[in-house]
Structure 1
Amino acid sequence: MSEKLQNNVLFQQVVELLQTARQQVLRTVNSTMVYTYFEIGRMIVEEEQDGKDRAEYGSQLLKGLSQRLNQEFGKGFSIVNLENMRKFYLTYSISQSVTGVSKIKIPKTLSVELKDNEKIETFKLTWTHYIFLMRIDDENERSFYEIETAKNNWSVRELKRQYDSALYTRLTLSRDKEGILKLSEEGQIIEKPKDIIKDPYILEFLGLPELHQYSESDLEAEIINKLEHFLLELGHGFTFVARQQRIIFDDKHFRIDLVFYNRVLKSFVLIDLKIGELKHQDLGQMQMYVNYYDRNKRIEGENKTIGIVLCQNKSDLVVEYTLPENNEQIFASKYKTVLPSKEDLIKLISESK
C-alpha cells in the first residue's frame, strides 16, 4: 500500500470515529436535556400536589420559578416551557387506572439500560418531538407516532407531515380492534401484503393542484422527482427498482409505471397510475403485470408480486367484483395531491371504509 493511500485510509478511519463520537455526544446531550425536563416536570407536579389547594398556586409557582431560573441560567425557562415540562411528566409518567390507583407509564421511546449496576434512562427523541407529540390527545395514536418516529428517525417536520396526513387513521381502516391496539403498542408491523396498503395515499408533496389538468406521465415524473418523499409515504421497506418497466410477449409491448421491492415482504410491488375513475380494465391490466412478474421475475425465496393501482376515484363495488374473493395481491387506492382539510379528510376516510 502506497504512503498516500495509507494516509487516506487513516484519514477516513479518523473521520468515521469522530463522526460517530459526535453523534453519540449529541444523543447523550439530547437525552440528558429531555430527562432533566422530565424531572423538572415531576418536581413541579409534586410541589403543586403537596397540600396546596389554592387555584392560583400553580400559576404563581411557575411564574416565580421562571423568573429565578432565567436569572440563574439565562433564557429557556419561560412559563410556557415550564408548563410543557409539567405536561410532559403528566402525559408520560402518571395516569389514572380504572380503579383510581396511579400507575407508571413509560414512554415507548425511553430505553432503560443497566451499566455497572446503575440504571441509565435514555430518551430517543428530541424535546421538540415530545412537545408536538403531547398535542395528540388520543393515547393510542400518540403512542403510534412516538414509536414510528423513533423507528424511522423522522424529523419533527416529517412527524408533523405524517400526522397531518392522518397516517394512523389511514392504517386503522383495514384493521380490527386487536390490530389497532398493536399499532399503538408496536407501530406498523408488516406481515402480509394488505399491511402495506393505504387508502388514500396523500401526495401533497408533489405540488400538483387538485383540480389542475395533468397527465399520468406528469404525475409519474413528479413522483420520480420527489422519490424520497414518495418512499416515505409508501412506508416500511420499500426500495425503487424501475420506471416505465417494459415487458414484451406475443410482439406486444406493455409498460409498468413504477416498480418497487419491499424488503420486509420480499415481494416486488408494481404501481400503475390512473387519472380519473378506476375502470375494471385497469385492474385486469395490473393482474396481467403481476402474473408476468410472478412467472418471469420472481426467484426462489421471494413472495408473490403485489400490484397497486393508484387512482383519483374508484367504485368499491367495481373493485370487489373484478378481483377474486381471496385476493391478496391486487389493490386499488385513491390518491390526493393536496393535503385535505380535517373535515375533508374525515369524509374521505369514511368513504373508504
Structure 2
Amino acid sequence: MNKQYVEAVKTIKTAILKSQSRASRYTNAEMLSLYYSIGGYVSENSRAGTWGTGAIDEISSRLREELPGLRGFSGRNIKSMRQFFEAWQPFLQNSKSLAINDNSAAVATELLKVERTELDFHENQSPLAADFKMEYFTGISFTHHMEILHMTKKLDERLFYVRECALGHWSKYVLRTRLKDDLYHHKGALTNNFLLTIPNDKQYMKAIQTFKDEYFLDFINMEELDLTDQQDLDERVLENEIISHIRNFIQCLGSGFCFVGNQHRIEVDGEEFFADLLFFQRDLRALVVIELKKGKFKPAYLGQLNFYLSALDDQERKNGENPSIGILLCREANKSVVELAIRDYSKPLGVATYRTPDELPGNYKILAPIMEEIPKLLSDSQFMEEEKEE
C-alpha cells in the first residue's frame, strides 16, 4: 500500500478510537444525567406526599407499556435513581430536577448535564474534596455508583471509592471486593518507614496509598489444606496457596501489581538466598518483595527483608526504576513493636497482617458462603436491567 495511504489509515484509525472513547464517556455521563434528573423529579413528588402509595411501581409499569422494550426503569431501579439524586444533590452546584410541563404533564426535555456541573463541598466537609475531579464522578457507571451508595455512609468514603474505581477501571466485582475488604480504612494505614526512606514526596504518597495494613486471604481453603493445626499455617504452604490463586492475591494487593515470581533467587558472592514473592508495581515503578511469616512479627525478620532489597537494588534494579520496597506479611503484629523496630532501616519497609477464613467465628463460617451469595444475587437482580441498557 502507498505510504500516504498507510499514514491516512493510521490517522483515521486514531481519530475513530478517540471518538469512540469520547462517545463512551459522554454516553455514561448522559445516562447519569438522566438518572439523576429523574431521581430528582421522583424525590420531589414522592417525598412531599404528592404521589400516593405504589405510585413508583405504577409509573414504572405504564412507562414500559408506552415504551415497549424499555429497560432499566423497574420500580426498584427508579427508587435507586431517587437515592442517587438525594445522596449527591447537596454537593452538585446548579443542579436541577426535571420539570413537569403544566399543559401536558410530560417530562421536560431539559436535563441536568452532569459533565458540566461541579461538585461543591463545604469547608472541612471532606479531606478528599480538594483532589476530587468531576471526571471521576462521570467516569463510572450507575451500577458502580449504587454499589458504593449501598455499602458506604460517609461522604469521604464515597469520594474515595468513586475516585479509585474511576482511576483503576474496576469492574463491579472488583469494586465489591474492595468494599468488602473495607479498603478505605485499610489503605494507607500500613506501618512503615517510607517517610524516612522515600525522599520524593510524590513517590512517598503513592507508596502510602498503595499498601494496606491488613489483607484478607479469603481464597485460602483451610479445610482442603488438611493441616493438623490450622493456626500453624506453614509459610511454604501459604506461599503455594497464594501461587495457586495468584490472580486472587493480586486483586487483594490492588491495581498495578505484576507478578515476577516466587522463591526468587538472589546470589551474593556464591551464596544463594530466596525471596518468597517478587512483584513489579507499575505506578511506583519499583520492585516489591513480599515475605511471608506464619506467626507473630519479630524484629529480626526485617533484617532479612532489608538485605533482599539491597541485593535487588544492586543487581536487578533498572535505569529509571525507583528503589525496591519490602512488605513483611505476618499473622499478627504489635504496632508499637513494629514502629520501634522499623524506623532505623535504610530501605523502604512495611509490615502488614493477613487473615484467613479459619479466623472467622464458627457460626459465621457455616453461614459465610450463603451470606456472600445473597448480596450478589440481590445486586445482580437489581442492576440487571441497567447493565443491559449500558
- TM-score (normalised: structure 1): 0.71
Equivalent residues of 1:193, 1:329 under 8 A apart: no
Task: Describe the shift of the 1:327–1:235 C-alpha distance in structure 2 as closer, same or farther (beyond 3 A).
Answer: farther
Shift of 1:203: 1.9
Match of 2:66 in 1: 72
Aligned residues: 308
Moved more, 56-65 or 16-25: 16-25
Residue type matched to 1:127 in 2? F
SS at match of 1:140: helix
1:248 and 2:264 aligned: no
How is 1:9-20 mapped onto 2 (pairs within 5 angstroms)? none
Query: After superposition, what is the alpha-carbon deviation per residue over 1:133-153, rounded to whole angstroms, capped at 9, x for unaligned?
Result: 221211110111111111111
Match of 1:198 in 2: 212
Shift of 1:247: 1.6
- Higher RCO structure, 1 or 2 (CA under 8 Å, sep 6+): 2
CA distance in 2, matches of 1:225, 1:19: 37
1:132 and 2:147 aligned: yes
**Aligned with residue 57 of structure 1, among 44, 51, 58:** 51
Match of 1:81 in 2: 77
Residue type matched to 1:85 in 2? M
Match of 2:311 in 1: 292
SS at match of 2:293: strand
Equivalent residues of 1:194, 1:328 under 8 A apart: no
Match of 1:149 in 2: 165
Match of 1:92 in 2: 88
Gaps of at least 5 residues in structure 1 are 2-13, 96-101, 114-119, 176-187, 345-353
- TM-score (normalised: structure 2): 0.65
CA distance in 2, matches of 1:112, 1:212: 55
How is 1:259-274 mapped onto 2 (pairs within 5 angstroms)? 259-274=278-293
Equivalent residues of 1:190, 1:264 under 8 A apart: no
1:166 and 2:185 aligned: no
Equivalent residues of 2:325, 2:348 under 8 A apart: yes
Structure that is richer in strand per residue: 1
**Aligned with residue 33 of structure 2, among 35, 45, 52:** 35
Shift of 1:330: 1.6
CA distance in 2, matches of 1:220, 1:21: 45
CA distance in 2, matches of 1:307, 1:332: 9
CA distance in 1, matches of 2:178, 2:354: 15
Match of 1:305 in 2: 324
Equivalent residues of 1:112, 1:121 under 8 A apart: no
Match of 2:42 in 1: 44
Equivalent residues of 2:331, 2:354 under 8 A apart: yes
Moved more, 142-151 or 124-133: 124-133
Query: After superposition, what is the alpha-carbon deviation per residue over 1:23-47, rounded to whole angstroms, capped at 9, x for unaligned?
Result: 7776665544433222211222344
Task: Describe the shift of the 1:339–1:201 C-alpha distance in structure 2 as closer, same or farther (beyond 3 A).
Answer: farther
SS at match of 1:154: coil
Query: After superposition, what is the alpha-carbon deviation per residue over 1:29-85, rounded to whole angstroms, capped at 9, x for unaligned?
Result: 554443322221122234457xx5x4x736454244223213223564332222111
Equivalent residues of 1:170, 1:200 under 8 A apart: yes
CA distance in 1, matches of 2:180, 2:360: 9
Equivalent residues of 1:189, 1:195 under 8 A apart: no
Task: Describe the shift of the 1:90–1:231 C-alpha distance in structure 2 as closer, same or farther (beyond 3 A).
Answer: same
Shift of 1:18: 9.5
CA distance in 2, matches of 1:57, 1:111: 31
Query: After superposition, what is the alpha-carbon deviation per residue over 1:300-321, rounded to whole angstroms, capped at 9, x for unaligned?
Result: 4433221111111223344234
Gaps of at least 5 residues in structure 2 are 2-11, 97-113, 118-134, 192-201, 365-390
CA distance in 2, matches of 1:324, 1:190: 15
CA distance in 2, matches of 1:339, 1:302: 39
